[in-house]
Structure 1
């Protein structure tokens, strides 16, 4: 009960525009069954934090539908629990984590809390972060602000500071010419002192479509999933009741993650298939990410393709992207043979 959490779901990444036309970064599907926010929420609850404020960006309907009142993360509580705290700005174009103008709109959320320290984290870093351990390191350092980093120096953009200091920054950020907690840390703004906490596990920073593709596909490699999905620190998500996937006669699947409720009659290799996807006979998929409820027609050939939710690909369509530039089909898009000739 020493920590409260801020999950900043407001930062928009220009490199993810194809996947965020109808949703925020936080609700982008990842690894077949999860959304990006699931990793931040799971880090929080696995660190025994019971008071969580989610600060979303518009449009946030998809995100609100996914997290609801926090039941899937055991955050639907009478005391503390999960709070959805949208800002008044309808264009959530914050460029760094922990914008003071956004947090300040909900100052009472912090004032009323019983916890003395705050962790501010983001929704585009996929990792297993132990915030209890990070808080111990922060307190032992005697510094004002602790930032999580990787062994290679990658900034994970998660921060711990006292609630008292955060409230002071909310009041004085304009005078001090800073915009966010990330800005304060990056500029090493005086008079504050800074500490780092080093994380040595799996990390993926999802700041572009190319990074999204490579990071997701890396989980198909031997041993990589075990680095992220730890038995003692599970990743929680909204439960979907779907029937088992049907593998029809003639289908072939190798080195793939397949969600529930799919119907597979074609060939799937080194791909991630979300729930309720239909892949018809003769279709061949390799190095693809296919999101939920998409339909792949007969005799299609797809290589290095990201198909967002509800995409329909007609019979015989051939799409070949590369690892450096995967082809992205936007949510609800329909692709015919005439479209690619």
Structure 2
């Protein structure tokens, strides 16, 4: 499959429902499951499907994404031929475009023309799933389809498999046809292409709001859900960081939670996801929370249904409470004092 399929990840999406987590980063770089970023899932799926050439098309706040992906070494994509490519968009569009913006692709048309792969799979960056794309290609070839769209539970996953030559044609004729992206093509009932549907039956969730982000994160604390997403023979790769094990001091108590490396825990943690390098002080209680990298929680605090972005400092004695349907979110680098009772 590595010689036949080109991977394209559309990282231009900006969901307003996730604005509080996207102030300093793109949607693709939003942290998930303690040590991953959202883009890790689709990128790992492509690598595990033996796709050796992957192009990432970002648009908004992509410095964090570039820092995370680097040369692609952690995904075995730092190679002399093919590998990982990064094509930031310089196009300013007032209208929201769908997945696979042809105008963005047109600015980098040479990449597609020079590619030797016969097919291309176009995917979004915000779906959490673990999928082998090889059966999609086999079905696509066997049925003689022009476009194969991947579905899950009867709903489009906004992922498309087409011939590279057809994609180039769609890009070059976009002004005449009025198609701005792949979504436009498949939604046009008068299009001339043979459209096929591939139904994916594994675990999948799209992250497009704070509520969906929070609920999907909490689902991972269920061992059955974790096993469906993190498969031993189909691993999810991410940027490797060398950090010491988490240190549990006297008085620390952890129940039904995920704790990443490099933390220092003195308080109580229940039903929560704690990222790398987090410090939780003595007497503090953290329940139903997502605490991102290097955040610091002082002593005798109470946090319930809260999302702390990276580098947040919570002063001792602070009380913050949200709800499962409306978690309380603190943006990256902010400080919260003892008077912040919500």
Does 2:216 match 1:215? yes
Tell me which of 74, 86, 89 is aligned to 2:88: 86
CA distance in 1, matches of 2:234, 2:198: 19
* Alignment correspondent of 1:297: 298
Q: In structure 1, how many angstroms separate the alpha carbons of the residues matched to 2:304 and 2:189? A: 45
User: Hey, what's the Cα distance between the residues in 2 that align with 1:251 and 1:275?
Assistant: 17
SS in 2 for 1:337: coil
RMSD value, Cα: 1.3
Please tell me whether the aligned partners of residues 292 and 309 of structure 1 are also in contact (alpha carbons under 8 angstroms).
Answer: yes
Runs of 4+ in 1 over 3 A off after TM superposition: 90-95
Q: SS at 1:170's partner residue?
A: helix
Alignment of 1:58-137 (within 5 A): 58-89=60-91, 94-137=96-139
Tell me the TM-score normalized by structure 1. Answer: 0.97
Task: Quote the offset at 1:338 in angstroms.
Answer: 2.5
- Cross-structure match for 1:4: 6
Aligned pairs for 1:51-62 (under 5 A) are 51-62=53-64
Residue number in structure 2 paired with 1:203: 204
What residue is the counterpart of 2:280 in the other structure? 279
**Cα distance in 1, alignment partners of residues 189 and 338 from structure 2:** 54
Aligned length: 340
Q: Which runs of 5+ in 1 are unaligned?
A: none
Greater CA deviation, 109-118 or 126-135?
126-135
Instruction: Provide the rounded CA distance (Å) in 2 between the counterparts of 1:92 and 1:190.
Output: 26
Select 1:20's aligned residue among 22, 33, 43: 22
Partner of 2:48: 46
| 8 Å Cα contact 1:58/1:90 also seen in 2 | no
User: CA shift at 1:320, angstroms?
Assistant: 1.0
1:320 is aligned to 2:336:
no
Partner of 1:331: 332
Q: For residues 262 and 188 of structure 1, do their structure 2 counterparts lie closer, same or farther at Cα, with a shift above 3 Å needed?
A: farther
Structure 1: distance between partners of 2:170 and 2:188:
14
Q: Equivalent residues in 2 for 1:117-266 (5 A)?
A: 117-150=119-152, 152-266=153-267
Measured in 2, the distance between the counterparts of 1:23 and 1:281 equals: 32
Q: What is the DSSP-based 3-state SS (H/G/I as helix, E as strand, rest coil) of the residue aligned with 2:173?
A: helix
User: Is 2:319–2:340's contact at 8 Å kept on the other side of the alignment?
Assistant: no
Give the conservation status (yes or no) of the 8 Å contact 2:49–2:132: yes
User: Distance between the aligned counterparts of 1:94 and 1:239, measured in 2?
Assistant: 34
Q: Which moved more, 1:138-147 or 1:23-32?
A: 138-147
> Structure 2-normalised TM-score?
0.97
Q: 1:301 and 1:91 mapped to 2: Cα distance?
A: 43
